[in-house]
Amino acid sequence: MVKNSLWKRILFGYITIVVCMMVMSFYLIYRLNYLNKVTDSIMRADIPFIENGEKLVDCLLEQVRNEKKYLITHDNAFLDLFDQKKREFLERLKYLEESVTYRKKDEAIQQTRELHKKYLSMVSKEIILMGKDEVIPPDTRYEEEKKKTLDQLTQSINKLILVTQTELIKKIGLFQQIGYKSTRISLIIILFAVLFGAIFGYFFTRSICSPIKILKDATEHIAHGDLDHRIEVTSNDEIGTLGMAFNQMCNKLKEMDQMKTDFVSNVSHNLKTPLTVIREANDLLLEKIAGPVSDAQIKLLNITKEETIRLTMMINDLLDISRIEAGLMRYNFQYASIQDIIQKSTDEIRFLAESKNIHIRWSKGGDISKVLLDREKIAQVMDNLLSNAIKFTPSGGRITVTVNEADFKTVPQFFAEESRLNNVHSFVQVSISDTGIGIPVECHKKIFDKFQQVNNKGKGGMKGTGLGLSIVKHIILDHGGDIWVESNMGQGSVFRFTLPFRYDYVLQS
């Protein structure tokens, strides 16, 4: 069973963010609803209440004005107007009474009603007296009482308006508070969602990217032929399963590679004996021990001899590579002069070079200290590099071999990365340069792998298996040195290898 699978983690992240957004939305809807209710109550109750209150004052003033005019002019039109305003006043007061929700306001309305009643009774008393044609004695106490009643009435109405305005201001304050609070809470929820999204996103991406990077690195190792590379599976999610499948694939590849190596090694080994017999029989025929041979037959026998030699060399290369891969290559290390080895190799191959009209230049230079090496193997390296140079250099070309002492700074970074030079700082460096066809830059590393040949194979009249440089590289690495090529298409090649003077490196298995 796959635990903590990726999809579960993705689902958890999305659900958390969606829940945050839903909580915020519901909270905002609830708050907006409440605000709507407050606005509604302001629009429907408070504002009309204040308007009516203000009109109540106007009505009262109209009543007083018409009452006074009537008392002076005795004109009934003013009495009618007074009556009209009185009715309007009472209607408005009734409306206020019906829409009241608050005890303090109710008290103020009752007080207004009482005072208005008192005022009306005082006015009607005056009117009755006036109807009887009685002269109203100028009574200052009565006048004062009426004035006081009117003042109290105006105050009472104003108090009503003030209480409603205070209520309204309170509601607007509440409105503002709710607005601020909702913004704050929404911001907190958004911040939490963003923070959660960022942290979750970071860890989630990392939990995917780092194993993918490990997988990518491991794939590169495999692509470069390191079939022993495995990855450590730490999680049991889809990526962990992928890692396990990758390791299984590597095991299978390794198994197949081993089978192939064993097969090549067995076949090569089994071919060696019959090939030796063919060569010896061929030699006997050529030496005419088995009887006379015609010139045409000698020609054919010489071709067979050449091809069997080539086949033997190929089989030797295959056996060498099998030995190297099985870790069975044996070295006979001893202090020797690298210059002597180069001298011998160049002397031996000069004949072949001259047959192709290629000039070999070997400048021995000054005396160089002896190096701990296997003479035969380093000679094999030289033979391989020189024969490659001859093979890939057209007629009339030139091959130059130089040797000098060098330090680690001379090794190009590209190759130094893989080098096992450890704390070795001084070397002898051998360079074999030719004026041949050159090697494209993208193949500089690849040609040191087995069976790797650039598209120029066969040029120069010689075919190969693509094993030479692979063997050469193994031998040099086993000596603690390094080998690389500097070349460009059509501009010749320089193969350089180094061998350490001090032999204190650790051999890697």
> If you search the block for the tokens 């019959």, which residue do you land on?
274
Among 454, 478, 489, 505, binds ligand ATP (CB under 6 A): 454
Which residues 6+ apart lie within 8 Å of 509 measured at CB? Answer: 327
Report the distance separating Cα 123 and Cα 472, nearest Å: 133
Cα–Cα distances (Å) from 492 to 241, 386, 399, in that order, read 49, 13, 10
Residue nearest to ligand ATP (CB): 464
Closest approach, Cβ 434 to ligand ATP, in A, equals: 5
> How far does Cα 335 stand from its chain's mean position?
54
Among 439, 476, 477, 499, binds ligand ATP (CB under 6 A): 439
Decide if residue 467 touches ligand ATP (CB under 6 A): yes
The amino acid that residue 477 corresponds to is: L
Report the distance separating Cα 427 and Cα 484, nearest Å: 15
Contacted entry of Mg ion, ligand ATP, none for residue 493, CB cut-off 5 to 8 Å set by kind: ligand ATP
Contacted entry of Mg ion, ligand ATP, none for residue 447, CB cut-off 5 to 8 Å set by kind: ligand ATP
Closest CA to 406 of 426, 421, 424, 420: 426
Closest approach, Cβ 485 to ligand ATP, in A, equals: 8
Q: Per-residue x/- marks for Mg ion, 376-405, CB under 5 A?
A: ------------x-----------------
Among 397, 468, 481, 500, binds Mg ion (CB under 5 A): 468
Among 243, 397, 464, 481, binds ligand ATP (CB under 6 A): 464
Number of other CB atoms surrounding residue 28 within 10 Å:
15
Report the distance separating Cα 335 and Cα 374, nearest Å: 8
Closest approach, Cβ 318 to ligand ATP, in A, equals: 9
**Residues 397/435, Cβ–Cβ less than 8 Å:** yes
Q: Per-residue x/- marks for Mg ion, 412-451, CB under 5 A?
A: ----------------------------------------
Q: What is the DSSP string of 135-203?
A: PPP--HHHHHHHHHHHHHHHHHHHHHHHHHHHHHHHHHHHHHHHHHHHHHHHHHHHHHHHHHHHHHHHH
Decide if residue 400 touches ligand ATP (CB under 6 A): no
Largest CA distance in the chain: 185
Decide if residue 317 touches ligand ATP (CB under 6 A): yes
Binding piece for ligand ATP, criterion CB under 6 A, among 121-129, 251-259, 357-365, 449-457: 449-457
Query: Is 411 in a helix, a strand, or coil?
Result: coil
CA-based Rg of the chain, rounded to a whole angstrom? 56
Between 20 and 477, name the residue whose CB sits nearer to ligand ATP.
477
Q: Per-residue x/- marks for ligand ATP, 368-397, CB under 6 A?
A: ----------------x---xx--x-----
Between 339 and 388, name the residue whose CB sits nearer to Mg ion.
388
Decide if residue 345 touches Mg ion (CB under 5 A): no
Decide if residue 453 touches ligand ATP (CB under 6 A): yes
Decide if residue 440 touches ligand ATP (CB under 6 A): no
Sheet holding 359-363, edge to edge: 359-363, 398-407, 426-434, 493-500, 482-487
Decide if residue 308 touches Mg ion (CB under 5 A): no
Tokens of 105: 């306001």
Query: What residues make contact with ligand ATP under the rule CB under 6 A?
Result: 317, 384, 388-389, 392, 434, 436-437, 439, 447, 452-454, 456-457, 464-470, 493
**Residues contributing to the site for Mg ion (CB under 5 A):** 388, 464, 468
